[in-house]
Structure 1
Amino acid sequence: MVKTDEDYALFLDFDGTLVDIVERPDAVAVDPALPEVLTRLQERLGGALAIISGRPVAFLDAHFVPHQFDMAGLHGLEHRIAGRLSMCDPDEHPALREMIARLKVIVADKEGVLIEDKGCSVAIHWRQAPHEKDFALATAHAAIEALGNDYRVQHGKAVAEILPSAAGKGKVIERFLHEAPYKGRRPIFIGDDLTDENGFKTVNAHGGLSVRIGAGETIAKVRLGTPADLRHRLSTWASEGSLPFDEDDC
């Protein structure tokens, strides 16, 4: 059993990890008990708790009001560390803004294919139209060819996201680990998707604990079943003071 003290830094993905995956990205719901659980864990860890997500910081904040946590949004393009906020300016990405407008036209007649405009990135979702997967992927890769090397495609569960090449969960976790209160701690990162694998790689390189929620090939050291399972374990940790999983859960 891993002891819970201020030797650890906890990083948590949002969709599919803290909350259940839903058909539409705007329909996500946070369990009413979760914000208080995370607040208690934040206190136990001396503030070293952060949410690492592809969502914008403003979106995440709105789902945890009145609680506030350190976080990285848009795969690290935005972040708040120890209360210091750095945001991404969509106006600095004019080519991407033009591409987003074009993508909305391209998918307009594809029922169930959704464009999620995140300001400095854009996601193409096909969860409601699985038969359109090939179309969505081809559209995303064609967009990248037009945008050039400054952007890349990030694949996920029924989604392809176009984002600046500099973005990545592994990179932003590395940044957190160089700043207080995260510096010098053993990192724990919990995620559920391909978008989290480079975060797992960073955490593993630091001798940390990587945890994958659900099925799928992974480099994570630990696997859990569902977001509900994780929420229960986080609640136990917050109440009892010991992390309720370790490498033996693999």
Structure 2
Amino acid sequence: METPEGLRAILADPAGAVIGLDFDGTLSPIVPDPDAARIHPRGPALLARLGERIGAVVIVTGRPAAKAVEYGSLAGVPGLVVLGHYGLERWEAGTLTAPPVHPGLARVRAELPPLISGIEGARFEDKERSVAVHTRQAAQPQAALDALRDPVAKLAAEAGLAVEPGKFVLELRPPGVDKGMALSAFLAERAARSVLFAGDDLGDLAAFAAVRASGLPGVTVFSGSAEITVEADIVVDGPDGVMDLLGSIADAIGS
């Protein structure tokens, strides 16, 4: 397969490159319990190698930024920036910055657990600045998700929140932020000359679109399953494939 233009640009000018990565399903395998997710064993060392070789490594995730750092053992990665909650939070050099918590979250924290109580296997997750409902553990995950879609959307609208769908998950979060906006702002901040973004779920599509809209030599990497149809420059087999790709980039750049 021919090397995509964006990847050639990264290898030719690593100092101008930004490598952006989702966390769950990209750096970490998807697991039934989100709190049990941990980065691929090769991840911390590979990201540290890249952090020393390219302009910037940024993780853009729906998770709280500090959780991604903890679950990824990432505190020691040189120059790493983590944009959590789709860009609402920023972790950099051990410092976390974020706006106040959206007032509508208090209502959904109170009303969402009773709403999902009748769906066996549905799980409520509190992410501090957003909340989520997971149906991965239900006997029929897709049917459970479909049953919850309308009532969850109604509650979110009443609370002034947006719904971010994913693989067997509905996340309620503040409106006006997404991974594409977060990535675009970061590319401008760093005056990037090339960009790669890797992701695995519906929430990553905005970041893929941001790569295409940036006008930069860019490459999109899809690490998800066939359940989601995505146009991407490179398709890899989950976090194992992401690690192989990142390793090949680090090796090609050299010391």
1:22 is the counterpart of 2:31: yes
In structure 1, what is the equivalent of residue 91 of structure 2? Answer: 80
Post-superposition CA distance 1:27-71 (Å, at most 9, x none): 21222331111011011003x111110000110111215424211
Instruction: Report how far residue 109 of structure 1 moved.
Output: 4.2
1:136 is the counterpart of 2:148: yes
Q: Residues 237 and 168 from structure 1, CA distance in 2 versus in 1: closer, same or farther, beyond 3 angstroms?
A: same
Instruction: Report how far residue 103 of structure 1 moved.
Output: 0.5
| Partner residue of 2:191 out of 164, 177, 183 | 183
How many angstroms apart in 2 are the aligned matches of 1:229 and 1:95?
Answer: 39
How many angstroms apart in 2 are the aligned matches of 1:187 and 1:236?
Answer: 16
| Partner residue of 1:108 out of 117, 120, 135 | 117
| Partner residue of 1:7 out of 16, 19, 26 | 16
In structure 2, what is the equivalent of residue 160 of structure 1? Answer: 170
| Partner residue of 2:50 out of 36, 41, 46 | 41
- Report the more deviating stretch, 232-241 or 116-125: 232-241
Count of aligned residue pairs for this structure pair: 235
How many angstroms apart in 2 are the aligned matches of 1:171 and 1:84?
Answer: 21
| SS across alignment from 1:178 | helix
Post-superposition CA distance 1:64-112 (Å, at most 9, x none): 154242111011111235776422432xx22221212211222234331
How many angstroms apart in 1 are the aligned matches of 2:133 and 2:172?
Answer: 8
In structure 2, what is the equivalent of residue 218 of structure 1? Answer: 230
How many angstroms apart in 2 are the aligned matches of 1:204 and 1:17?
Answer: 20
The alignment's TM-score, normalised by the length of structure 1, stands at 0.86
- Report the more deviating stretch, 223-232 or 15-24: 223-232
Q: Which amino acid aligns with 1:86?
A: T
How many angstroms apart in 1 are the aligned matches of 2:231 and 2:223?
Answer: 12
Instruction: Report how far residue 8 of structure 1 moved.
Output: 1.3
Kept in 2, the 8 Å contact 1:23–1:127? The answer is yes
Kept in 1, the 8 Å contact 2:20–2:59? The answer is yes
How many angstroms apart in 1 are the aligned matches of 2:25 and 2:99?
Answer: 24
Aligned CA-pair RMSD:
2.0
In structure 1, what is the equivalent of residue 242 of structure 2? Answer: 230
| Partner residue of 1:209 out of 188, 196, 219 | 219
In structure 2, what is the equivalent of residue 172 of structure 1? Answer: 182
How many angstroms apart in 1 are the aligned matches of 2:99 and 2:135?
Answer: 26
Q: Residues 227 and 33 from structure 1, CA distance in 2 versus in 1: closer, same or farther, beyond 3 angstroms?
A: closer
| SS across alignment from 2:246 | helix
| SS across alignment from 1:20 | coil
Q: Which amino acid aligns with 1:124?
A: V
| Partner residue of 1:70 out of 70, 74, 81 | 81
Give runs of ≥4 in structure 1 deviating > 3 Å: 80-85
1:52 is the counterpart of 2:64: no
How many angstroms apart in 2 are the aligned matches of 1:14 and 1:192?
Answer: 9
How many angstroms apart in 1 are the aligned matches of 2:50 and 2:27?
Answer: 14
Instruction: Report how far residue 147 of structure 1 moved.
Output: 1.9
Identity, in percent, stands at 35
Q: Which amino acid aligns with 1:33?
A: R
How many angstroms apart in 2 are the aligned matches of 1:241 and 1:21?
Answer: 30
In structure 2, what is the equivalent of residue 198 of structure 1? Answer: 206
